[in-house]
Amino acid sequence: MLPARIIVMYYICSPIVKQIYFRLKIRFITFITVSFLLVSIDISGQIDTGELGGAKLNAIQTAVPFLTIAPDSRSGGMGDGGVATSPDMNSQHWNIGKYAFLDSKGGFAISYTPWLRNLIPDINLAYLTGFFRVDEQQVISTSLRYFSLGSITFTNIDGSFAGQYNPNEFAVDAGYSRLFTENFSGGIAFRFIRSDLTSGQQTSDGQDTKAGISFAADLGFYYQNQVNVGTSDGEWAAGISLTNMGTPISYSVDSDKTPIPTNLRLGGRFTYNIDEYNSIAANLDINKLLVPTPPVMEIDSATDELEVVRGKKTPGSTVMGMVQSFYDAPGVLKSDGSYSVAREEFNEISYSIGVEYWYRQQFALRTGYFYEHASKGNRKYFTVGIGLKLNVFALDFAYLVPTNGQNSPLANTLRFTLGFDFADLNF
């Protein structure tokens, strides 16, 4: 029997995907009961029907949700936004195109996030990223993301010990960025993803489970330009990124495949230089998963099979699934009894707002807010952060404050990032 702990992690670690556990079919009614009770800690216990506004819980289903967790402290302190923030060493996750605007010849950063410590003490996310400037126009980059679920004890249906294992997931990628003009850049990255949740120690419907494998790509574009603001100056920027465009994942030979979290992110930034020493920037990210929304299905009395009654059937093609994700929602119930597809599609958009203040480009204060609709995950939280940069060394911290109280699994989330910038070194 698979431990409920894995289920809880997958329902909560990225609340967008609270309705899925990697598509393995679990037969035991006790397991189902326990897992749903645990999930209710974050959903049913914190959402009232009035907040849903006619919508029903219908979170988008993906595998490997750890790919959507903000890995670095700088963006983590600004509401988990970063598609158009000023370029930094962690641009690999947010917008691969930003690297081309870095002045440095190279650098790397290490980030660590203890995850869901309100529930489980040993889940964590580690992130290593680096870049190297080839010439004035070209930059190459790479990153490694490792997600550990801690130590899991497996038991049989009768509760006897069946082994111990450390489930884990990781993604490794390599990217290329280039300046197209003085103000515009773009980039592409290729990613290998491996998700090993059972180490082959469990079965599903009589089949041995296996590690899920996926190959994906990112595409990002970034634009920035200087502007005059009264007697001072500033900069505005815009970015767009498509991330995790790749193959779906399966955890057994004949099981259905689950899409990975293909994501569209749009955003902008405005920086105002107050004076020679002080500057402040405001950022906005708009985010949408390009993954089909689960339809409403009922059993046809004539054929005794499940039929789609609202929404659309999930297509077999990943590309078609990305396109269909813009219009396939079952819809939100309106007062006249009809359903609004457009309203549910807008509910699937999440927002990140962030502010960053710098003093002498050495000390930073950050804050932000993240919003996600109650029917799509109900993540709503403030973030705060600080940063310190001295020559080649940079240190950042971020802290998450959920608006739905300290009972949230995300409460007390800390992020730490240590970076090294080789701008002043000669190669």
Fill in the amino acid letter for 265.
R
Q: What is the mean pLDDT of the chain?
A: 84
Residue 154 neighbours by CB under 8 Å, 6+ apart = 1, 2, 3, 161, 162, 163, 164, 165, 201, 202
Q: Is the pLDDT of residue 146 over 80?
A: yes
- Spell out the domain ranges in the chain: 4-421
Q: Are 357 and 350 in contact (CB under 8 A)?
A: no
Nearest to 249 by CA among 194, 206, 208: 194
Cα–Cα–Cα angle for 415, 11, 352, rounded to 5 degrees: 50
CA distance 143 to 149: 20
CA distance 81 to 70: 8
pLDDT of residue 204: 58
What's the whole-model pTM score?
0.85
Cα–Cα–Cα angle for 98, 287, 411, rounded to 5 degrees: 100
Q: Which of 26-40, 296-310, 359-373 has the highest mean pLDDT?
A: 359-373
Q: Which has the higher per-residue pLDDT, 300 or 402?
A: 402
Nearest to 251 by CA among 349, 151, 162, 167: 167
The DSSP code sequence of 96-139 is: GGGGGG--SSEEEEEEEEE--TTT-TT-EEEEEEEEEE-SSSEE
CA distance 74 to 63: 26
DSSP tag of 67: G
Percent of the chain exceeding pLDDT 90 equals 60
What are residue 159's DSSP bridge partners?
Answer: none
CA distance 7 to 382: 26
CA distance 63 to 327: 21
pLDDT of residue 200: 62
Span 132-144, mean pLDDT? 96
Give backbone dihedrals phi and psi of 303, rounded to 5 degrees, phi first: -100, -10
Nearest to 59 by CA among 20, 23, 16: 16
CA distance 77 to 113: 13
Span 268-274, mean pLDDT? 96
For tokens 């983590």, what's the residue?
A: 76
What are residue 306's DSSP bridge partners?
Answer: 299
First and final C-alpha spacing in the chain: 55
- Categorize the per-residue pLDDT at 54 as very low, low, confident or very high, splitting at 50, 70 and 90: low
3-state class (DSSP) for residue 341: helix
CA dihedral defined by 133, 141, 265, 250, rounded to 10 degrees? 170
* Superfamily (CATH H level) for 4-421: monomeric porin ompg (2.40.160.40)
Q: Are 350 and 330 in contact (CB under 8 A)?
A: no
pLDDT of residue 425: 58
Residue 150 neighbours by CB under 8 Å, 6+ apart = 120, 121, 122, 123, 124, 166
Q: Which of 13-27, 110-124, 313-327 has the lowest mean pLDDT?
A: 13-27
- How far CA 175 is from CA of 45, 131, 218, 219, in Å, comes to 42, 9, 8, 9
Nearest to 218 by CA among 281, 167, 142, 110: 142
CA dihedral defined by 86, 244, 17, 84, rounded to 10 degrees? 10
Phi-psi region of 311 (alpha: psi -120 to 50; beta: other; left: phi over 0): left
Q: Are 146 and 124 in contact (CB under 8 A)?
A: no
- Categorize the per-residue pLDDT at 55 as very low, low, confident or very high, splitting at 50, 70 and 90: low
Q: Which has the higher per-residue pLDDT, 84 or 3?
A: 84
